[in-house]
């Protein structure tokens, strides 16, 4: 266990983290967990701020989970910036940074037991990244078992992930409350993402197409689903460097596509490749 400034401790093992949290719980403290893969930005720090408001002890996990990367994805080049991440967390009320290795989390190598994400896990991001959500749910389940937090905090930018984590916690009777923080954006509307650092200036400008598509979809929402889909997709028409993967409107209660005649609250999900970088975004709209 390594101690850094402002009382933050980097904890590399499950056994150490459990012992530290048991000690804090025995003194009556509540615990909030913020699961991350590192490469922290202001969006992550907003999650930390929310966790600090909700609990006495804040744990930020930093672990690039190999189970949620498929063949040909960016596992090897995914940014690993632990020192900078810990420096960003100093002074923010984070008591522990849990930073295990893959060998610590998966000591037997191949994982024999996984959480499956079901039908919703095979749609949208799951269709583009087969197995991604099974890997995500498996590591989140492990983190919840290790830290046993009262509250776990996630960001709305990963809307499908939030839906699946909430459903897992409900279905498996996990004694953790899931708190969700709205998407944090740049002043021009770009959703913050660890992958934004891959964008050169031209691709950074092109990436605004995702938020533009969401605004167009929202403006068309009073006219119904067909107009939402048409106007959202049209935003991608003039950008050769941006390739739309999907734009879909889902029911927030089921995360399945809404019916043609749907009215009321819905979530627009969009994913696109900007140059070599894949980005996602979403927004809540009101149809009809």
Catalytic site positions: 44
Q: Give the span between the Cα atoms of 189 and 250, in whole angstroms.
A: 22
By CB atoms closer than 10 A (0-12, 13-18, 19+), residue 215 is middle
- pLDDT tens for each residue of 10-29: 999 999 999 999 999 999 99
- Beta pairing class for 31-36 and 9-11: unpaired
For the chain, percent of residues with pLDDT exceeding 70: 98
Is residue 4 over pLDDT 80?
A: no
- pLDDT tens for each residue of 85-108: 999 999 899 999 999 999 999 999
Q: What is the pLDDT of residue 77?
A: 83
Average pLDDT over residues 35-50: 97
- Beta pairing class for 264-274 and 2-3: unpaired
Is residue 61 over pLDDT 90?
A: yes
Instruction: Determine contact, residues 177/50, Cβ cutoff 8 Å.
Output: no
Q: Name the strand (E) or helix (H) holding 132.
A: helix 132-147
Q: If you search the block for the tokens 């019916």, which residue do you land on?
A: 259
Q: What is the pLDDT of residue 238?
A: 77
Q: Give the span between the Cα atoms of 272 and 217, in whole angstroms.
A: 16
Instruction: Determine contact, residues 262/252, Cβ cutoff 8 Å.
Output: no
pLDDT band at 74 (very low <50, low <70, confident <90, very high): confident
List residues bridging with 32 in a β-sheet.
58, 151
Q: Give the span between the Cα atoms of 217 and 64, in whole angstroms.
A: 33
**Angle of CA points 181, 45, 88, to nearest 5°:** 170
Average pLDDT over residues 219-244: 95
């Amino acid at each position: 266990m390594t101690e850094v400034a402002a009382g933050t401790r980097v904890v590399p093992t499950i056994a150490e983290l459990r012992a530290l949290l048991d000690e804090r719980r025995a003194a009556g403290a509540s615990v909030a967990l913020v699961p991350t893969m590192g490469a922290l930005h202001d969006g992550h720090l907003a999650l930390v701020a929310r966790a600090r408001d909700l609990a006495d002890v804040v744990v930020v996990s930093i672990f690039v989970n190999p189970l949620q990367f498929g063949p040909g994805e960016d596992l090897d080049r995914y940014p690993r910036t632990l020192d900078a991440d810990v420096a960003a967390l100093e002074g923010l009320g984070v008591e522990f940074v849990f930073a295990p290795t893959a060998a610590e989390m998966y000591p037997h190598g191949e994982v024999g037991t996984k959480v499956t994400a079901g039908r919703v896990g095979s749609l949208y991001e799951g269709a583009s990244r087969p197995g991604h959500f099974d890997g995500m749910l498996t590591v989140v389940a492990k983190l919840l078992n290790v830290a046993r937090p009262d509250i776990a905090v996630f960001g709305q930018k990963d809307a499908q992930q939030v839906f699946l984590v909430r459903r897992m916690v409900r279905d498996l009777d996990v004694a953790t409350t899931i708190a969700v923080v709205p998407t944090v954006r740049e002043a021009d509307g770009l959703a913050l993402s660890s992958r934004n650092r891959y964008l050169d200036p031209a691709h950074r400008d092109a990436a605004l197409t995702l938020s533009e598509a969401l605004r167009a979809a929202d403006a068309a929402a009073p006219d119904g689903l067909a107009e939402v889909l048409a106007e959202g997709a049209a935003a991608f028409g003039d950008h050769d460097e941006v390739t739309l993967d999907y734009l879909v409107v889902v029911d927030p209660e089921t995360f399945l596509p809404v019916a043609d005649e749907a009215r009321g609250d819905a979530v627009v999900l969009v994913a696109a490749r900007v140059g070599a970088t894949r980005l996602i975004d979403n927004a809540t709209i009101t149809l009809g």
